[in-house]
Amino acid sequence: MAARPVESTVMTAIHIYAPPVTRRFVLARTCPDCGKRTRMLGWAYEWYGATVVCLRCGREWQDGEWMPLPFMRGAREHSIAAAKVRWRRLSGHD
């Protein structure tokens, strides 16, 4: 029996569901990580918990769980800048 050639036109489809933001909010509270009174930006999603970022230390929480920062120089500043950009992008003030 002869081997059949493998078809090279087969494509795998991967679908990642990213729900839209249902609510944006700003909190003023004491950050559990840096221990200082600060403002926090937050986003709530359908079917998922809220994501909150401290604007003083850059720490992020998703659904109340502490998210680790990447092991890189300037990770906290990057997290703060990314949260601000995301806030502006969702509000239409680019």
Which tens digit of pLDDT belongs to each residue from 43-71? 998 888 899 999 999 999 998 899 999 89
Mean pLDDT of 18-36: 91
Residue 73, CA distances (Å) to 61, 77, 92, 93 in order: 20, 9, 30, 28
Percentages helix, strand, coil for the chain (3-state, rounded to 5) are: 20, 35, 50
pTM for this prediction: 0.75
